[in-house]
Amino acid sequence: MGRALAAAIGVASIAAAAVASAEPPAGAAACSGCHPVSSRVASPVPRLGGADRAAIARAMQDFRSGQRAATVMDRIAKGFTDDEIQAIAAWYATQK
Amino acid sequence: MKPGRREFLGLVAGAAAFFPTPTFAQGAAPRVVVVGGGFAGASCARALRQLNPRIAVTLVEPNATFTACPFSNAVIGGLRELSAQQFTYERVGADGITLARARATGVDPPARTVTLGNGTRLRYDRLVLAPGIDIRWGSLPGYDEAAAAHMPHAWSAGEQTLLLRRQLEAMDDGGLVVISAPANPFRCPPGPYERASLIAHYLKTKKPKSKLIILDAKDAFSKQRLFQAAWAELYPGLLEWVPLSKGGAVTSVDAATRTFVTDFGRHQAKVANVIPPQKAGRIAEVAGVADRSGWCPIDPVTFESKLQAGIHVIGDAAIAGAMPKSAFAANSQAKTCAAAVARLLSGAAPPAPKLINTCYSLVAPDYGISVAGVYVPSGGQLADVPGAGGVSPADAPRTTRAAEAVLAEAWFRTITDEVFG
């Protein structure tokens, strides 16, 4: 029983690590409600997957400050901190 | 469901009971059952597979085709065909998700099983309920399922949507259209007002002597100032909103004569659309996750029910605090819930999430408005992030309204591709 439990914990922690690496940071998963993941979708809203990390972060900051004109992104960007913006930008930059 | 799987489920029951948090013990894949194949359920099933392909996900949904509510008001207004609202589960199944084409009829939370209408019993380590809404039949005197054939609700998209459209098409110019809107909470808070707008657009274009009245059980509604400014500009004299304080609350209806009764009088309509009071889909009540309000209280980090351990509730059925009952919110909640479930299954604690809602409404084909919000868990509920969110600017030029109408359609293509494509 003890060995089974130890094995289970071992597998569980490997699985947890696998989940953690694929898991988007807070807020990131919601973006694909409007930003297409698939290139099949025709949209004026840019795809974020594989985009330049610094460009995503700068866009979010400029929407937040009002420096960049927006329809809805100004209202959304105001809900995110600098750290959250950096984490989201870094995560999307690594996505396909 | 394959018979072999059922026997296998029995074998691992002992292991599941030993570990209070289900684990990957003895190589068994953790099992998640998702009930409901709408924006919430289908999104959650796919997100679970993406986060961890080892999770065995079963999606329980009786319909082969999903008919989306967002943009169904454009179908009613003759701007779009119902086929543009319809999606199959082919791609969802191709993700390795088991599709159970049946209705969930029972849940046994201690045994962690779901019973389907065809008699199959599915075991789960975590259950996600995404049942959407049910009409609260009988709560509005005179309005039952038979009445809905004369006074359609069209609040679940499909035949009801087409029925309302056909009635509008059959109406003579000069007819009176009446929409009754319910008290909060209900699916799609701006929906009744978008519907009124697009019906008004149809009347203005095709039957300009007609009139539309909204009888409302509320004194305020979503995007109100934007809608009212647009109505004054686009549909003056055609569309009248009667709030609660002016006698808008409907106390009963008579389907035979298409009559709405209020404390202040009677309105006999040529076309009558009753948007009735609602509650969480029936399985929520069966599973014991709905409270006396008819909706489902949840933990704002994991979307786990506050009433039943191991069961998560997402989408319109959930009490999600400041988040409205919208397709975007359902999709956002689904992905948050999937991440939490994947963590919990591997014995890890889910981090605090951040969620978004964006919701577009069309006031005319080229006139869009939106509301957005950003949400975090706070005080046991999902709360607005202060300073974020809000509605489209009141003073925006028509070019902005046109841009938001384009964005609304792009949003629909994007989200339906993520969920079903």
State chain B's mean pLDDT as an integer. 94
Mutate to test the interface with B, among A43, A63, A84 (most CBs of B within 10 A): A43
| Same domain, yes or no: B15 and B126 | yes
pLDDT in tens, B359-407: 999 999 999 999 999 999 999 999 999 999 999 999 999 999 999 999 9
Q: Looking at the partner chain, which of A15, A24, A27 has a beta carbon nearest the beta carbon of B346?
A: A15
Q: Find, among B152, B154, B57, the residue nearest to B96 by Cα.
A: B57
Which of these three, B350, B377, B395, is where a domain ends? B350
pLDDT in tens, B54-68: 999 999 999 999 999
| Same domain, yes or no: B127 and B148 | no
Q: H/E element holding B173? A: none
**pLDDT (0 to 100) of residue B7:** 37
Say if residue B12's pLDDT is above 90.
Answer: no
- Per DSSP, B270 falls in state S
- Residue pointed to by tokens 């209806």: B253
The residue among B347 and B3 whose pLDDT is bigger is B347
| Same domain, yes or no: B270 and B336 | no
Domain-by-domain residue ranges, chain A?
26-94
Q: Does B23 touch chain A (CB under 8 A)?
A: yes
Say if residue B326's pLDDT is above 70.
Answer: yes
Mutate to test the interface with B, among A72, A74, A96 (most CBs of B within 10 A): A72
CB contact under 8 A, A75 and B389: yes
Q: Does B351 touch chain A (CB under 8 A)?
A: yes
Reported ipTM: the value is 0.91
Residue A72 with chain B: CB contacts under 8 Å: 358, 370, 372, 392, 404, 407
Domain with B263, as residue range(s), is: 137-276+359-419
| Same domain, yes or no: B270 and B210 | yes
What whole-number distance in Å separates Cα of residue B71 and Cα of residue B57? 29
Mutate to test the interface with B, among A1, A31, A45, A71 (most CBs of B within 10 A): A71
| Same domain, yes or no: B47 and B122 | yes
Task: Answer for the pair B6, B121: CB distance below 8 angstroms, yes or no.
Answer: yes
**B70 CA to centre of own chain:** 9
- Per DSSP, B409 falls in state H
Say if residue B212's pLDDT is above 50.
Answer: yes
CB contact under 8 A, B348 and A16: yes
pLDDT in tens, A26-74: 999 999 999 999 999 999 999 999 999 999 999 999 999 999 999 999 9
**pLDDT (0 to 100) of residue A23:** 87
pTM of the entire predicted model: 0.91
Say if residue A1's pLDDT is above 90.
Answer: no
User: What is the CATH code for A26-94?
Assistant: 1.10.760.10
Instruction: Give me the DSSP letters along B85-137.
Output: GEEESHHHHHTTPEEE-S-EEEEETTTTEEEETTS-EEE-SEEEE---EEE-T
Cβ neighbours of residue A73 closer than 8 Å, sequence gap 6 or more: A59, A60, A63
| Same domain, yes or no: B286 and B159 | no
Say if residue B18's pLDDT is above 50.
Answer: no
Say if residue B45's pLDDT is above 60.
Answer: yes
pLDDT in tens, B233-266: 999 999 999 999 999 999 999 999 999 999 999 9
**pLDDT (0 to 100) of residue B181:** 98
Candidate from B27-31, B192-196, B296-300, B374-378 with smallest mean pLDDT? B27-31
What whole-number distance in Å separates Cα of residue B25 and Cα of residue B27? 5
Candidate from A8-12, B212-216, B301-305 with smallest mean pLDDT? A8-12
Report yes or no on B301 lying in a domain: yes
Query: Residue B250: which CATH number?
Result: 3.50.50.60
Report yes or no on B120 lying in a domain: yes
Candidate from A17-21, B160-164, B184-188, B356-360 with smallest mean pLDDT? A17-21
Question: pLDDT band at residue B8, thresholds of 50, 70 and 90?
Answer: very low
Report yes or no on B319 lying in a domain: yes
Report yes or no on B259 lying in a domain: yes
Task: Answer for the pair B124, B116: CB distance below 8 angstroms, yes or no.
Answer: no
Q: Does B414 touch chain A (CB under 8 A)?
A: yes
**pLDDT (0 to 100) of residue B118:** 95
CB contact under 8 A, A36 and B417: yes
Q: Cα torsion at A37, A38, A42, A48 (round to 10°)? A: 30
Question: pLDDT band at residue A22, thresholds of 50, 70 and 90?
Answer: low
| Same domain, yes or no: B200 and B156 | yes
Question: pLDDT band at residue B20, thresholds of 50, 70 and 90?
Answer: very low
Report yes or no on B24 lying in a domain: yes
Question: pLDDT band at residue B27, thresholds of 50, 70 and 90?
Answer: low
Reading across the β-sheet that carries B104-108, which strands appear in turn? B104-108, B113-116, B121-123
Q: How many domains does chain B have?
A: 2
Closest approach of A60 to chain B, Cα-based (Å): 13
Report yes or no on B95 lying in a domain: no
Say if residue A9's pLDDT is above 50.
Answer: no
CB contact under 8 A, B339 and A24: yes
- Residue pointed to by tokens 């543009």: B84
Q: Does B355 touch chain A (CB under 8 A)?
A: yes
Residue B336 with chain A: CB contacts under 8 Å: 29-30
Say if residue B33's pLDDT is above 60.
Answer: yes
Report yes or no on B76 lying in a domain: no
pLDDT in tens, B75-125: 999 999 999 999 999 999 999 999 999 999 999 999 999 999 999 999 999
Q: Which phi and psi angles does B14 have, rounded to 5°?
A: -60, -45
Q: Does A6 touch chain B (CB under 8 A)?
A: no
Q: Find, among B249, B294, B240, B246, the residue nearest to B274 by Cα.
A: B249
Please identify among residues 52-91 of chain B the ones whose CB lies closer than 8 Å to any CB of chain A: 52, 54
Which of these three, B302, B322, B350, is where a domain ends? B350
Report yes or no on B211 lying in a domain: yes
Say if residue A7's pLDDT is above 50.
Answer: no
